[in-house]
Amino acid sequence: MTRRDALWSALASAAASTQSVSSFSHIEKWSVFEAQFPGPSSGTPYIDIEFGADFQFEHRKVSVDGFYDGDGVYRVRFMPDSEGEWLFTTRSNRPELHGKTGRFLCVPPAKGNHGPVAVRSTWHFGYADGTPYLPFGTTCYAWTHQGDSLEEQTLNTLQQSPFNKIRMCVFPKSYAFNRNEPPAYAFARTADSNDYTHVNPIFFQRLEKRVTQLMQAGIQADLILFHPYDRWGYSNMGAENDDRYLRYVVARLAAYRNVWWSMANEWDFVKTKTLSDWDRFFRIVQQSDPYGRLRSIHNGAVLYDHGKTWVTHASIQGDDFDKIPGWLDAYRKPVVIDECKYEGNIQQRWGNLSAREMTRRFWIGTLAGVYVGHGETYMNDQDVLWWSKGGVLHGESAPRIAFLRKLLESNAPGGLTPMSKPYYPAAMKTGEYYLSYFDYHQPVTNQFELPDGASFRADVIDPWNMKITPVDGLQQGKVQSKLPGKPYMAVQFRKA
Amino acid sequence: MTRRDALWSALASAAASTQSVSSFSHIEKWSVFEAQFPGPSSGTPYIDIEFGADFQFEHRKVSVDGFYDGDGVYRVRFMPDSEGEWLFTTRSNRPELHGKTGRFLCVPPAKGNHGPVAVRSTWHFGYADGTPYLPFGTTCYAWTHQGDSLEEQTLNTLQQSPFNKIRMCVFPKSYAFNRNEPPAYAFARTADSNDYTHVNPIFFQRLEKRVTQLMQAGIQADLILFHPYDRWGYSNMGAENDDRYLRYVVARLAAYRNVWWSMANEWDFVKTKTLSDWDRFFRIVQQSDPYGRLRSIHNGAVLYDHGKTWVTHASIQGDDFDKIPGWLDAYRKPVVIDECKYEGNIQQRWGNLSAREMTRRFWIGTLAGVYVGHGETYMNDQDVLWWSKGGVLHGESAPRIAFLRKLLESNAPGGLTPMSKPYYPAAMKTGEYYLSYFDYHQPVTNQFELPDGASFRADVIDPWNMKITPVDGLQQGKVQSKLPGKPYMAVQFRKA
């Protein structure tokens, strides 16, 4: 019997012999434990009532904030990261919410639960359980503000797609192709006026439902906390309301293992905030979130300084891929180009890349050592464009992105290291895997230099037609390879 | 009777009544007048004998150098630029070549003879007679060193092609795919040694024959005077021999109206010469050439300062098209990107662009306000690659370049002015013609702002399929145009 099994067995016996079953539940590691307590419902609990809990595992204590969920209900959520018994005690400025205790048993994760994603090996990511994670993200800014029918269609599309991350806004969006009212507002609302002293729990419950569904589908929720495309007032609440909102969101959502924090979409386009506001937001999120979830901020025209300590990875809008080596050097963090324009056909210049160009950008960026994000903006009769509302995919790049994802997960699950020497985009898993992409070049032959002392199997890859054609025999050292003489081909060498 | 007709008539009578018919010929304006004289054949005439002539038209005198053409024959060539009687008197350091006189009648140019090309309107070119000239060049570095059969095939290909300029080396080339010996050497040669005191007239006669044929075909000969790919010694002759060679080439070839001088291919790769050598070469050519033919220098990795006064236009190897606006501003001269890599399929990274990418580069560059040059490097059984040896074209970009050339000659024969405001590449003939190219974007609609007070006819252009589809009706002001939603489309608006 291992130490873990022994502990579990002991705790299970303890559970059977106690009466306080209400708070003694079995919680999967890296899943959400939640406890709720009755408390005041009058006045302005969102403003006045402090509530949280300290969770204890052996000698370690983790303090988390709770939140008011309406109707006199106060909740605290927690994601345990160690198997065994956890105890907790609430704390509050109201006696009826203070000093409540409880416990739960953290049991091993179920299949498919790999824990949260964090930075690994400087420029890459990985799950907490050691499972590789290569982000292949997409963007549906306002998909959780469309009503159940469309939202469920979006979820269904995502589950069939290659995307394992989605950029999405907490607040609704007002923009071209986005003129509809959301099903709920974040705060009590009368006519066109928000009451920032009363949060609307329904708004956040809707969001949490979708985040949970994404979690179950293995999709990271890159939650965008502020953005400029607003007609309701959420981009201009004032510093005090901004900060309280941030703490509230973190209290509600940090326990979901698939949450990433994005301070903003296009931070520099939010004219109501200064650079020091964004710095402060980062610090608030960093201090409030006991799990250290990934933190980033997405630019409009001007990059935020992703070198700042509270930024875990660069989230970049841009398509000047020549800057990638500079970014990797400067930040020494993962770089995610999560907006390199969109596949589509709309008039807006950022929304009409051909599918081939989007596919090409995934290849160019991937081989340069960054992670590229997808988005789609095709006109359609329903006026539902994926990039914002979700719905279904109309384009042709997604299957090619799936092909690329599978290629990397099979061959370089820890991420690729870009190779600076070759002329063509090329990257490797040192000593084991080498991948070159020829872009608009169409050589009939090319020389590769494989590392000494190993043999490799070579394949010619057609990224658009998603075909892998093995080359006969084993390759060693300086190899002169035959190529198809067509543009947009790739070659891989896998250690035999 | 016009003044010109009167003069011509008078001169014709004079010709009929004189006995000195030998030097009294009728010479088309902008064509080559040549006179020859016997002189010394022993010793080193190439070194020792100074010979030239002063040509006089009314009150204007033009001094030109003559040259030794072997077998005791001395020639002087001259391109008259004014119709009427020209007189000349030779000058030499040898009495038998000094003070010889002659005259000829310069008559109107024949159809197709538009005179030499010069810079027009800062960033463009034009023929001397006012006919527009838009350079659509190609490159066959060593085509005149391949023997008559292949050279005639190259000429034939050029005549069927869209190309009205060719980059070509005076000296033979030693490089990959170029290992053959030339049919003739520039100087007397024994074993592997050149005698720089004895020029080989046959070498230059071969070259002049090809330059003449290009002239007859309406193709500018962009003559490259030095280059690095040499195994015969021509890149390392020493300053004295370099300078004498330059004066000799100018004396022989400057009279051909289709000659352009390119000091070098890849000047910075010629390790035997310094920057001051290249400056001196420019000055020698400028001083020796009485016609002021176009002068340029083509880079390897480092641009020469094309702002120097003796440079008439920038000749650039490069494919960073984002630099074009900077170059146009800095130089205020025409910019010719005459090497943006080659369409082809060879291993060398500069020689395997797809035909679509080459076509795209022509469009991008043209709309940015420069002139793009073609080249082709397809493997073939004959080992004859167009970029160097000539022969036939194997690629698919040439017809698309022909299509673009025709489009421009029909609509903006004086050249296009780039438009900096639109997002997509766009250029215009102000007030009359507007051309936009959408590259890898595929909008289904786009807004254009046409100038007030005029109506325009619109066409959707498919540059690859070479189709022009008219849009119904007349367009005015702000126009919302339907587009096909396919990548690589263009739109033009022509003033009605």
Q: Does A487 touch chain B (CB under 8 A)?
A: yes
- Cβ distance of A442 and B347 shorter than 8 Å: no
- Concatenate the DSSP letters of all residues of B39-60 into one string: ---SS-HHHH--EEEEEEETTE
What residues contact A250, with CB distance under 8 A and at least 6 apart? A65, A261, A284, A285, A288, A289
What residues contact B451, with CB distance under 8 A and at least 6 apart? B431
**End-to-end Cα distance, chain B:** 39
| pLDDT attached to residue B423 | 85
Residue ranges with strand state E in B134-230: 137-139, 165-169, 187-190, 193-199, 220-226
Which site among B346, B440, B446, B488 would you substitute to test the A interface, given the most A Cβ atoms closer than 10 Å to its Cβ? B440
Strands B314-317 and B335-339: parallel
A192-248, pLDDT tens digit by residue?
Answer: 999 999 999 999 999 999 999 999 999 999 999 999 999 999 999 999 999 999 999
Option in A349, A442, A447 nearest B345 (CB)? A442
**Inter-chain CB pairs, A–B, below 8 Å:** 70
Nearest to B141 by CA among B164, B161, B162, B170: B170
* C-alpha to C-alpha distances, B222 to B167, B257, B263, nearest whole angstrom: 5, 11, 10
Taking CA atoms, what residue in A is nearest to B485?
A: A345
* Residue B142 structure tokens: 């060593």
Name the DSSP class of A64: E
Beta bridge pairs of residue A446? A481
ipTM reported for the complex surpasses 0.90: no
Has residue A23 got a pLDDT over 60?
no
Helices B201-216 and B239-253: angle between axes, nearest 10 degrees: 40
- How far is the C-alpha of A95 from the C-alpha of A285, rounded, in Å? 27
Mean pLDDT in residue range A461-478: 97
Where do you find CATH 2.60.40.3950 in chain B? 419-495
Between A1 and B466, the higher pLDDT residue: B466
Has residue B226 got a pLDDT over 80?
yes
What whole-number percentage of chain A has pLDDT above 90?
Answer: 94
From its phi and psi, is residue A158 left (phi > 0), alpha (psi between -120 and 50) or beta? alpha
- How far is the C-alpha of A291 from the C-alpha of B167, rounded, in Å? 65
Mean pLDDT in residue range B316-342: 96
- Cβ distance of B352 and A423 shorter than 8 Å: no
**End-to-end Cα distance, chain A:** 40
Has residue B421 got a pLDDT over 90?
no
- Cβ distance of B356 and A440 shorter than 8 Å: yes
| pLDDT attached to residue B221 | 98
Percent helix, strand, coil in chain A, to 5, is 25, 30, 45
| pLDDT attached to residue B14 | 43
B425, B363 contact by CB (below 8 A): yes
A36 three-state secondary structure = strand
Mean pLDDT in residue range B63-86: 98
Mean pLDDT in residue range A308-316: 97
A414-456, pLDDT tens digit by residue?
Answer: 999 999 877 899 999 999 999 999 999 999 999 999 999 999 9
Over chain B, what is the mean pLDDT? 94
- How far is the C-alpha of A241 from the C-alpha of A494, rounded, in Å? 54
CATH level 2 (architecture), domain A3-107: Sandwich (2.60)
Per CB-CB distance under 8 Å, the chain B contacts of A486 are 354
From the number of C-beta atoms within 10 Å of its C-beta (0-12, 13-18, 19+), residue B441 rates as buried
- How far is the C-alpha of A139 from the C-alpha of A396, rounded, in Å? 16
Mean pLDDT in residue range A56-79: 97
- Concatenate the DSSP letters of all residues of A355-404 into one string: HHHHHHHHHHHHHHT-EE---EE---TT---TTTT-----SSHHHHHHHH
| pLDDT attached to residue A420 | 83
Evaluate if pTM is beyond 0.90.
no
| pLDDT attached to residue B19 | 39
Per CB-CB distance under 8 Å, the chain B contacts of A421 are none
- Cβ distance of A440 and B345 shorter than 8 Å: no
| pLDDT attached to residue B86 | 97
Has residue A182 got a pLDDT over 80?
yes
* Residue B380 structure tokens: 């073939």
Taking CA atoms, what residue in B is nearest to A342?
A: B441
Residue A262 confidence class, pLDDT cut points 50, 70, 90: very high
- How far is the C-alpha of B386 from the C-alpha of B168, rounded, in Å? 12
* Residue B88 structure tokens: 């000349």
Q: Does A379 touch chain B (CB under 8 A)?
A: yes
- Concatenate the DSSP letters of all residues of A281-335 into one string: HHHHHHHH-TT---EE-B-SSS---TTSTT--SEEEE---GGGHHHHHHHH-S-E
Residue B420 confidence class, pLDDT cut points 50, 70, 90: confident
A83-132, pLDDT tens digit by residue?
Answer: 999 999 999 999 999 999 999 999 999 999 999 999 999 999 999 999 99
Option in A347, A423, A447 nearest B443 (CB)? A347
Q: Which of A354-368, B93-107, B135-149, B418-432 has the lowest mean pLDDT?
A: B418-432
| pLDDT attached to residue B255 | 98
Per CB-CB distance under 8 Å, the chain A contacts of B485 are 345
Element (H, E) at A275: helix A275-288
Superfamily of chain region A117-415: Glycosidases (3.20.20.80)
Has residue B13 got a pLDDT over 70?
no
Has residue A9 got a pLDDT over 60?
no
CA torsion through residues A339, A341, A342, A347, sign: positive
B62, B290 contact by CB (below 8 A): yes
Mean pLDDT in residue range B216-227: 98
Where do you find CATH 3.20.20.80 in chain A? 117-415
Q: Does A484 touch chain B (CB under 8 A)?
A: no
- How far is the C-alpha of B35 from the C-alpha of B86, rounded, in Å? 13
Residue B18 confidence class, pLDDT cut points 50, 70, 90: very low
- How far is the C-alpha of A312 from the C-alpha of A315, rounded, in Å? 9
Domain B419-495 top-level CATH class = mainly beta
Where do you find CATH 2.60.40.10 in chain B? 3-107
CA torsion through residues B250, B251, B253, B254, sign: positive
Mean pLDDT in residue range A341-350: 96
A412, A434 contact by CB (below 8 A): no
Locus of tokens 């608006």:
B493
B64 three-state secondary structure = strand
* Residue A56 structure tokens: 């204890």
- How far is the C-alpha of B394 from the C-alpha of B355, rounded, in Å? 10
Degrees to nearest 5, angle at CA A176 with A171 and A180: 55
Nearest to A368 by CA among A305, A452, A285, A424: A424
CA torsion through residues B222, B228, B232, B233, sign: positive
B338, B317 contact by CB (below 8 A): yes
Nearest to A144 by CA among A198, A183, A175, A176: A183
